[in-house]
Structure 1
């Protein structure tokens, strides 16, 4: 399993996995550490837990930035411990985890990677045991981590973590680097507002850790916010009949496939972005 560490600030680490270009986080305090997301299956979760233990022996708390398999299916390896998540994350894991297992095990089977497919199928889903529905903090000893939620965006259960003394923000998949935002199941109409909320936590020197890709800065996040907002505007013009689908695909800041997925979310039956 190809992975490497990046230390983005003193005691704030990112584990970068080649698979899915995934970024997982570790924040170390004086008395405890915080693990940000757990990977896509129990095998990856165990590797990730072992990597954390090579950095620190301190007791850990897990925070899930959202419910998608690649961020939440590896939790079993960290138990017993507090597992924090938004209440809707629990709902999604209960309702969607079996379908996610089928979908992604089939994907890796098609990719001729049966070992990952088998690991996903065998994964035991762990439900978070501590719910975060409003701003909260975790005290790691000499270091506070703030956890916030800024509304509907990549999912209905995105959490954002800020390490104030290190000027680092973990954004989950509200921010993507190296690929377009992932729109299936998302809420494009309100996603720019969620990113605007995230930007209130940043300054010119803030390191923002996306769910996938290398760390970025606030300017990158603001550009992504503007790009998603542009797609929302194009979709509204398409619904109004003032532009064609070809116009939208031509003018979108994202590739055609991502744009079509965003439009599909924005022009559904209730036109709410759900």
Structure 2
């Protein structure tokens, strides 16, 4: 898959990226536009900003759905502009941003991709200044983008971006298409309830844009909620000593790696009292 645009609704676009199967968003109003996530490094962010400028000259704002590197490390390319995120997203970038940068640079070096590692190492982290606790509404001119935190799930600070008059919802990594959800550092026990709240914003024709993969619909989100709930139940049984880990892997709707990550995430949270 090469990089390509998908217009998912009137003046709402998704840029699909081969790297990590990433989906980035662009919402156009009459007076301004909103960029949803910024990519994984300085070069990726610069290329993404160039693609946005090829579509529109409108002044932009940026929203970061969560602090993971592939969604937030390209922000410097869009400055100066308002950068929105959940307040805990900023806190995580302060606490763990440099560690993320070192970790992912090492991952790419081990994959034999030193050029990507160098891009990540050379990236300046940008801290969002427009902070959301529960909800914020952005007036783009004739169109409102609603930023909402629905609870702890993929991270402690996931934001969804709802565009009601286009019937589109950008879900970040609360929803994954084409690969299992990423459970590292997540809260498997509360993730299904967050997706239940997400589905309250979604109708039968709503386009849901995952952080990775092709756009999906409410039926897909409902099925994934059920799968995550099943994995959370298995992980709870393992953590309680009621089920062997390998049996949980055998029963899981997800591959072994994802299931083991969910078990680890649940165990870590229970030990920390979260």
TM-score category, normalised to shorter length: over 0.9
Distance, in Å, in 2 between the alignment partners of 1:255 and 1:49 is: 35
Distance, in Å, in 2 between the alignment partners of 1:66 and 1:173 is: 8
Deviates more, 1:226-235 or 1:75-84: 226-235
Match of 1:168?
A: 168
What's the offset of the Cα at 1:113? Answer: 1.5
TM-score scaled by structure 1?
Answer: 0.97
Distance, in Å, in 2 between the alignment partners of 1:215 and 1:188 is: 23
Match of 2:196?
A: 196
Match of 1:132?
A: 132
Judge conservation of contact 1:63–1:85 (CA < 8 Å) in 2.
Answer: yes
Distance, in Å, in 1 between the alignment partners of 2:173 and 2:273 is: 17
Judge conservation of contact 2:231–2:252 (CA < 8 Å) in 1.
Answer: yes
Match of 2:75?
A: 75
Distance, in Å, in 2 between the alignment partners of 1:212 and 1:178 is: 8
**Unaligned ranges ≥5, structure 1:** none
Match of 2:256?
A: 256
Match of 2:94?
A: 94
Judge conservation of contact 1:189–1:273 (CA < 8 Å) in 2.
Answer: no
Match of 1:228?
A: 228
Runs of 4+ in 1 over 6 A off after TM superposition: none
Taking only aligned residues, the RMSD between alpha carbons, in angstroms, comes to 1.4
TM-score scaled by structure 2?
Answer: 0.97
Measured against aligned partners, the alpha-carbon deviations of 1:60-113 in whole angstroms (never above 9, x if no partner) come to: 000000000000000000000000000111111111111111111111111221
What's the offset of the Cα at 1:234? Answer: 1.3
Number of corresponding residues: 274
Match of 1:121?
A: 121
**Unaligned ranges ≥5, structure 2:** none
